[in-house]
């Protein structure tokens, strides 16, 4: 077993006498330096956010069902989005701090993925128990992990890819996120109908089971986070590099040094979110 491990790491010679020999190449799919392995890592990075973005817009995809089954008005319905958003007013800063200084990228990604899963489960249980405040709490917990997970996703990207590669990587991550939202909009109503046919009635139980089924995507993303953490740790050992580190540490005091152009980008993002996302939430 020890000899096989040395051969895998390319540190043992073929004669067994202890003298260093030419390194044995790893298969392309197992070598962190080779394109096939990095493409596998890229796929896992993209799927990290799939579950979160899929479940983020569950309320929008089921607006009619939520308002009817839970007997809530439009303001109460939109509070499901507000409870998600409020923690992220500040948590994106602290999420980055925790990744940089406390958890590290691997553990941080897993923790934030767990928050997303737990939040979605509580959200679904709130519907099952016909308790709307529990649904609000679930969205709050979901929000704690959701946007911080996006920060971790980007940190992984800059750890594994450099230079011009990053533009493509960020684009693919964003595309997968929007695919998650689009699939949600097109499939959750159908899932609700199938659950309704199975149970024979509509109501909180039907809604809750539908949301639990949707939550399976969060478990899928958590699985991707676990696999990605293993591959990142393995690459750190094989390459003798600090892959798990986040590189340059950002401090909150750096905010005062942000350029005007960066602040203008922030304003553009705020205006975009304010104009587009309420429409998506009330699209039905």
DSSP, residue by residue, 39-83: HHHHHHHHHHTHHHHHHHTHHHHTHHHHHHHHT--HHHHHHHHHH
pLDDT for residue 7 is more than 70:
no
The rounded distance, in Å, linking the Cα atoms of 141 and 225 is 18
Confidence of residue 164 (pLDDT cuts 50, 70, 90): confident
What pLDDT is stored for residue 18 in this prediction?
Answer: 45
Confidence of residue 251 (pLDDT cuts 50, 70, 90): low
Lowest mean pLDDT across 31-40, 42-51, 105-114: 31-40
Which burial class, exposed, middle or buried, applies to 108 when counting CB atoms under 10 A from its CB (0-12, 13-18, 19+)? Answer: buried
pTM confidence score = 0.81
Q: If DSSP codes are grouped into helix, strand and coil, which group holds residue 284?
A: coil
Q: Where are the domains of the chain?
A: 27-249
pLDDT for residue 65 is more than 50:
yes
What pLDDT is stored for residue 37 in this prediction?
Answer: 82
The rounded distance, in Å, linking the Cα atoms of 132 and 126 is 6
The rounded distance, in Å, linking the Cα atoms of 141 and 135 is 10
Contact present, 138 and 124 (Cβ < 8 Å): yes
Angle between helices 104-128 and 132-160 (to 10 degrees): 160
As a CATH number, domain 27-249 is: 1.20.1250.20
Q: What are the DSSP calls for 145-177, one per residue?
A: HHHHHHHHHHHHHHHH--TTHHHHHHHHHHHHH
What pLDDT is stored for residue 24 in this prediction?
Answer: 57
The rounded distance, in Å, linking the Cα atoms of 277 and 82 is 11
């Amino acid at each position: 077993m020890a000899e096989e491990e040395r051969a895998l790491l390319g540190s043992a010679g073929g004669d067994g006498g202890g003298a260093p020999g030419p390194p044995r190449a790893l298969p392309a799919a197992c070598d962190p330096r080779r394109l096939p392995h990095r493409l596998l890592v890229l796929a896992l990075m993209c799927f990290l956010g799939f579950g979160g973005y899929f479940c983020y817009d569950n309320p929008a995809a089921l607006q009619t069902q939520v308002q009817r089954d839970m007997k809530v008005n439009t303001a109460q319905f939109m509070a499901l989005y507000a409870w998600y958003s409020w923690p992220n007013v500040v948590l994106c800063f602290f999420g980055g701090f925790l990744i940089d200084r406390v958890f590290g990228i691997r553990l941080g990604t897993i923790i934030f993925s767990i928050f997303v899963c737990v939040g979605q489960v509580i959200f679904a249980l709130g519907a099952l128990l016909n308790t709307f405040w529990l649904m609000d709490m679930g969205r709050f917990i979901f929000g704690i992990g959701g946007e911080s997970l996006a920060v971790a996703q980007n940190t992984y990207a800059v750890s594994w890819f450099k230079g011009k590669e990053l533009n493509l990587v960020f684009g693919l991550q964003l595309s997968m996120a929007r695919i998650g939202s689009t699939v949600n909009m097109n499939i959750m109503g159908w899932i609700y109908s199938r659950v309704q046919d199975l149970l024979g009635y509509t109501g909180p139980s039907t809604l809750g089971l539908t949301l639990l089924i949707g939550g399976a995507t969060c478990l899928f993303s958590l699985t991707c986070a676990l696999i990605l953490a293993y591959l990142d740790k393995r690459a750190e050992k094989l390459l003798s590099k600090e892959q798990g580190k986040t590189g340059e540490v950002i401090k909150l005091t750096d905010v005062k040094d942000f350029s005007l152009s960066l602040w203008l980008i922030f304003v553009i993002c705020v205006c975009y979110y304010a104009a587009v996302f309420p429409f998506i939430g009330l699209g039905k």
